[in-house]
Structure 1
Amino acid sequence: MIRDTIKAETVTAMKAKDKERTAALRLISAKIKDRDIEMRGKDVADDDALVIDVLQKMAKQRRESIQMYEDGGREELAAQERGELTVIEEFLPQQMSEAETKAAIEQIKSETGAEGMKDMGKVMGELKARHGTQLDMGRASGWVKESLS
């Protein structure tokens, strides 16, 4: 389980006295714990999917922050965010390439009979169900629009 790997890596980083990595791993653990509290009382079928969802959101936030810091000339803050992003991405599954994503979109389009923009929700839903942990859904959304128009 990814959660156990994160805990083990936190201990390893603490023993190695790697302050930046330890801080990033603790941040990840805190976000996962927050999601656990949110999900209390709800049935969670796949713990890894929940952790991956948290990690994907954290990675997206870091990418946006890096862009804003670079635009604002705050390179030291951008560097800190890049360090956190590197640690977060270690625990994410390998992302699908653009070509693989577009091929998956075309397959789903043919299977569902999607033809126009009115079918975008159907295609996006199926894409997320099949490949949600391996995709940046924001980028995939643009490719689905392009494919359906």
Structure 2
Amino acid sequence: MKIQEKIREELKEAMKNREEVRLMVLKSLIAGFTNELISLGKKPQEPIEDKDALNVIKKAVKQRKDSIEQYGKGGREDLVASEKAELEILEKYLPEMMSEEKIREIAIAKKAELGIEDATNLPAGKAGAGILIGAILGQIKSTGEDVDGALVKKVVEELI
């Protein structure tokens, strides 16, 4: 079942069960799908590809995480709780991300393969970290697995 179809089915279920938060999140995703289709030059009635749907969901997740951080800084724990509830719903639709341990294993292997010992012998200075990150992301994406780029960056920064 495609992501869009799954979300529409769960929207109906949320309506029947009167789950307001879940209903609001699912409606916002459907609106996001429509906006994405329009931005891609397609008709809003067309089904959205899963990769485009995942992009919409990832944007929504990133927005929620940013909001949680900002509300936390502002001392608005009520809004933090609300955003966390929405984030929990959204994350159910994302594919499972590669673990930090597995990323670290790949990063160590790539670091050795590229001959990088520490930050002082990076090719092209600081941009060399980008080269290592790019190599790691390329290897992971070629396997078809999904990975958080920010997590890869964090692991690389810890290693060099």
Q: What TM-score results when the alignment is normalised by the length of structure 1?
A: 0.79
Matches within 5 A, 1:27-38: 27-38=28-39
2 CA distance for matches of 1:38 and 1:78? 31
Q: How does 1:13-92 map to 2 (within 5 A)?
A: 13-40=14-41, 47-92=49-94
Report the alpha carbon displacement of residue 47 of structure 1 after superposing the two structures with TM: 1.9
Report the CA distance between 1:15 and its aligned residue: 1.1
Question: 2:112, 2:4 → 1: CA distance?
Answer: 37
Alignment-mate amino acid for residue 27 of structure 2: R
Q: CA deviation at 1:57?
A: 2.0
Question: Which amino acid letter does the alignment assign opposite residue 21 of structure 1?
Answer: R
5+ long unaligned stretches in structure 1: none
The alpha carbon displacement at 1:87 in A equals: 0.8
Counterpart amino acid of 1:94?
Answer: E
Give the stretch that moved more between structures: 86-95 or 97-106: 97-106
CA RMSD across the alignment: 2.6
TM-score of the two chains, using structure 2 as the length reference: 0.74
Match of 1:140 in 2: 152
Q: Give the superposition deviation at 1:25.
A: 0.7
Once the two structures are superposed, what CA deviation does each residue of 1:33-85 show, in whole Å capped at 9, x if it has no partner?
Answer: 211111226xxxx9222222221221122112112112211111111111110
Name the count of aligned residue pairs.
Answer: 143
1:7 aligns with 2:19: no
Stretches of structure 2 that go unaligned for 5 or more consecutive residues are: 43-47, 117-121, 123-127
Q: Secondary structure at the match of 1:134?
A: coil
Residue 152 of structure 2 aligns with an amino acid whose one-letter code is A
Counterpart-to-counterpart distance in 1, 2:104 and 2:84:
28
